[in-house]
Chain A
């Protein structure tokens, strides 16, 4: 399976700031996804990162809050904008058509 690298692995941020998370894959993949995992919870899909076009967001997630880029078939970024303590979560990217494989996630804490 593809090797997925996420950066940063963790960060502590001030409220009101923004953080961009990177996801790099060692091979070209068609599908890339971004998930949020709130403390002690399951995974919730934020959006599908589409190469060359705007991401497809799930209900409850909007582009202004979570802008996503997908410039090519091996890379994507997720930005968490204007952060508040409620955004403290693990953010995970996944890749693959069938089945999906996950990176190790970015652990984000907002003070």
Chain B
């Protein structure tokens, strides 16, 4: 099935640095979600976006729903070691279905 184009695939950063990752699609979505998955656990919802142009923050995390409805980004400011994990974007297409399409994930490593 269709997957979202998520980049970068992996990132290695120093503690304190800011991080940015994004997802793009050739088709429009009416919901964008960002999840984080730690080893041995299921994905945990970080931010949900429901309107084009919406900019939402959750602590040090900020995400935006692209104005074209075909993309979204997630920023993490002042990274800390516990930010390590895999970040997934997910989108829900218009049409009433609740099904989600997932990106391939961004693996984040934070060096203390």
> Which residues of A are in contact with B by a Cβ distance under 8 Å?
1, 4, 31, 33, 41-45, 48, 58-60, 92, 97-105, 107
Whether B43 contacts A31 by the Cβ 8 Å rule is: no
Highest count of chain A CB atoms <10 Å: which of B33, B41, B98, B105: B98
B31, A102: Cβ atoms closer than 8 Å: no
**7 interchain residue pairs of minimum CB distance:** A102-B42, A99-B48, A104-B42, A43-B102, A42-B102, A42-B104, A105-B42
Residue from the list B1, B35, B42 in contact with A44, Cβ < 8 A = B1
Q: Is B73 in the interface zone, CB < 8 Å from A?
A: no
Q: Which of A33, A48, A101 contacts B45 (CB 8 A)?
A: A101
- B1 and A43 within 8 A (CB): no
> What B residues does A4 contact at CB under 8 A?
42
A73 to B43 CA separation, bound complex (whole angstroms): 22
Chain A residues closer than 8 Å to B50, beta-carbon distance = 98
CB-defined contacts of A103 to chain B, threshold 8 Å: 42
5 contacts between A and B (CB under 8 A): A43-B102, A44-B102, A59-B1, A100-B100, A105-B41
Does B44 make an interface contact (CB < 8 A)?
yes
B interface, size bucket? 20 to 34
Interface residues of A: mostly helix, strand, loop or mixed?
loop
Contacts A97-B98, A99-B33 hold; do A43 and B45 have CB atoms under 8 A apart? no
Q: How far is the CB of B87 from chain A (nearest CB, A)?
A: 11
Q: How far is the CA of A22 from the CA of B92 in the complex (A)?
A: 25
Contact between B33 and A42, CB atoms less than 8 A apart: no
Contact between chains at A98 and B48 (CB < 8 Å): yes
